Homo-oligomer: A and B are copies of this chain.
């Protein structure tokens, strides 16, 4: 049994005593945010066309090293478009972790496709690739370069790895597996802006990936997201699809396919431009915070702080305390006790296969996912808590 008083003391060592709430993750706007937003208001260009959108997209591409970035209004929209770009069609199946935010599963259903839930590994909370290989070998066959689920008869078109809490999974192993089973990879890097896999930013292991700039993310635009793309033609297609598929014309309105109004407004992009300027400092802060959590929790029996895989450099989006054994009552008690000290902790997302709308979706054995749901607590992880930079 983990000692709750010791855990609270450890938290206090890192977070100090506070009059004000310490949220799970909050942004700071102490760079050029106000200047850029004001410039945007002064110009009158707050909406879907504007210089900050272009600049923001360029800055994202520069930082991640992906050739093209298309800004959209949130990570869910980015994922939806990624799935469409990957030709995921009605009645296809898409492999996704049961341990993820609900947007991953919902985006699949927006395409009329079925999420197919897969197991995670306790060492990084992402997909367990060994178990997945065994599972696919059992239930899938490859026929005419398509992966068919023998149990449902449906095509398994794609797989969405999620770098949970910013910790990259072992993408080279996933690439091998995906190639073998003819699965398209869509990298969900929503939580991993600033996380690197073997020296390369997350998102490079596939042709398309997505980012999120929600209010609780490392970089926020209020609400926002981006699609990362390698291929120029595909990037043009993504831009077209997300801007109502309108053909460029000075005054005519002609749309040549079913499009989406997923544009990021310029005012939100202005915020993002300023935030991105401070991203390297924020990551350093966050890594320092992670180190402090690791230090103070190192003596506590029965629990430990999740650390980045040895092949990766993680942004430590959310720091996770992992209990050696499942203990739902400890988690609830710990969260409640921490709130009394103003610390806002959180449990894991309810596993997707336990949500009512996904209870009958195809899935593999999810024992570890369900265990981890009763073992993991997220700790306050705002960049400024790291204390290296203001």
Contact = CB atoms under 8 A, between A and B. Distances in A.
Contacts of A166: none
Interface stretch (A6-14, A44-52, A61-69, A135-143): A44-52
Interface stretch (A22-30, A278-286, A296-304, A317-325): A22-30
A365 B37 CA distance: 48
Chain A interface, >50% SS class: loop
Instruction: Output the residue of A252, A261, A344 with the most chain B CB within 10 A.
Output: A261
A214 B47 contact: yes
A335 to B, nearest CB: 5
Interface stretch (A71-79, A157-165, A201-209, A231-239): A71-79
Nearest to A24: B251
A109 B244 CA distance: 13
A260 B261 CA distance: 14
A interface residue count range (under 10 / 10 to 19 / 20 to 34 / 35 or more): 35 or more
Which residue, A222, A245, A256, A346, has most C-beta atoms of chain B within 10 A? A222
A135 B250 CA distance: 36
Contacts of A253: 101-102, 346-350
Interface in A337-358: 339, 344-350, 355-357
A336 to B, nearest CB: 9
Contact of A33 (B41, B45, B47, B109): B41
A98 interface: no
B271 A268 contact: no
A106 B29 contact: no
Q: How many copies does the complex hold?
A: 2
A388 interface: no
A27 B44 contact: yes
A34 interface: yes
A376 interface: no
A203 to B, nearest CB: 20
Contacts of A26: 44
B73 A223 contact: yes
Given A41-B37, A265-B268, A103 B257 contact: no
A22 to B, nearest CB: 12
A356 B223 contact: no
Nearest to A23: B44
A263 interface: yes
B267 A271 contact: yes
Contacts of A346: 251, 253
Contacts of A45: 215
A335 B259 contact: no
Contacts of A349: 253
Nearest to A269: B222
B41 A29 contact: yes
Nearest to A246: B102
A222 B260 contact: no
Contacts of A192: none
A46 B38 CA distance: 15
Contact of A220 (B29, B47, B221): B47
A216 interface: yes
A173 interface: no
Contact of A106 (B41, B109, B223, B260): B260
Given A103-B261, A255-B102, A47 B215 contact: yes
A338 to B, nearest CB: 10
6 contacts: A27-B46, A48-B215, A215-B265, A221-B265, A222-B266, A253-B349
Minimum-distance CB pairs A-B, first 5: A47-B215, A222-B265, A76-B261, A223-B265, A253-B349
